[in-house]
Structure 1
């Protein structure tokens, strides 16, 4: 029965890693059914990006297996029960099968030493090794091994931002296993700017997962096509007297109103995209029929299935929140934010989340609005997002003037209060840091 409980919990929590964490293998079980179910689950995960099979798949393949929903016992408790039964089974095999032959063929010293070795092996093989924490005084070897891996870029990854000043301020870019929060008032371009950094990671070879919970699939793709084509400089655009290397006009893509020559260019661009984009982008959009479940558990399954290095969640407050066990205002968002932080650490993904900033009724003077990126105190929905993120990035833009400002708020690795001026012309796929000096002179040359 314990096998059914353990496997059922793995299915419910989509946590195949629990087998490895607690040393549970097909050989841990005495019956062929139990061994086969565990082996099937592990093989399924290898072929499906680490995801567990559904209970329906298990029951279909193993009709005699009894699935038990909503198991509340911990993995550690269940693993101890499994290992206890395994240990007794191995001791019984040792006494009943191995000992008689050993007794008849060996002297007493050999029998005793062999039994001691075999019993110690059984003890080690059936113990639940679940180390909690690390002894810092004895951590030198582990630390230096990790340092060497990091020096070689093997154990973690930095994905550079599209905005050089952000990279400079935070030590090179976005570090795997961290959450980065983008926030701004409604309609100020936070989705566009965050999308640009997601695409930038894909251009560097990352597997990027996008949960677009406000935009339709076509709307998001139109923005992405504008951005990607602008990076290739496929279109030359004159905007307010300045010449830009641009992309396909977003509004024309949305309305299906490109000129014939640009339509031909679009077809060429779209068909060659697999050759020009180094990484991959997996998009799940609000109008996808299979995108009705938006829980933390579903997100982690998607990350593992797509092997995502970078994730964009737009916006976090459209996710299915975790239960508000604290019974406090905003507790559901807080629990979700904490769970996201854990998912980032467990999967090693960079997770970008988007949230709202409080509206500011005083930001206009005489009908004129100046650029004013929101401050950390203006994070809307939950302050837990501020606390759990490695970096907080405020966004404000004046789309009609083609400019904007990004401001770094709380930064775990520095950079707080850094401001980044950007060119903001998303209709042409142009969102980048404002260039100065000679580069700027060349950009605006006629």
Structure 2
């Protein structure tokens, strides 16, 4: 293959570390006039344009953006493919919402053509919003995952997904069995895990919809394939927590159910964690597990406020999740807007640089992919986005009043949405143009 080399010039910003651990100033790198050089789908150089331009070959193709900011592609650590068609559904809290809206919507994925149509819409929405990697729940049907991976593979996206395992406490038309969920998951793992930039996640929906037998087989899969992911929900809603206690009286609490079935580990991501206690945070951190913070969804379903300072105290890996369809936007910028408010309601601050970290490098660390994505470090995948300072008249006017990159970044996260994303690149290829 001939060497393909391109360069992109603009203001450039990326996270280097968690501000909670190193302080804000050491947590990011910003180039007011920066240059990003891409070779064969990877980043080969990053720095000040004045330093790098003289070293580049004369014939290199350079794209120069005015009034724009390049950042790493955004990372969504919790989202549901089959709920795309019911985003913004009215009037319920978690358990009623599942029965009223979610389960009927997910039942449609028995039809392969429907699964393919939604996968196309879903991936286009992710890319329009600047999300280049997502940890995705399919439905209980293997075809939901096949359709998603087929669409993601065509664009060489780094994506993680899994078939939901659910063998009780759900409508008959939507349940599998412990054995069928194991066999179907295994077939999907063999077909997709590690293919291109795709990864598989073992996906029990949540403890109440899996029998002990199914949870044991989920744990067995993780033992059989050492680099698999595991995704599920935890401590989202107080009624849900009481339900888990009633279903598993022999366990010490919600997290202990998953712990008992060997579902905690370095690639395990637990969505929500709104009502976790100190001991549970400590145990998640000890096992290298991560939590997906889903502020939009937690507010929309009335679930509660995630305690980010407690997670930071325990050095627990936290990523950001839109949780569509409980969440009401595919935009991680809009999700950060809500995250800021969730912290405000608890008397805590969320700096724009911590927000940037959560949506990029923090998500990459939660997924153990920080050597591939989440920053613009040379050697990593060329997954990046271009944010347009003039995307809307208000944004354009407001940013003219901004005095520094911290203020600019905060305004982008407060007023920004899908319109702000001018272009999205994955593995060096442009996969979205506004």
TM norm structure 2? 0.28
Higher helix share: 1
Higher strand share: 2
TM norm structure 1? 0.28
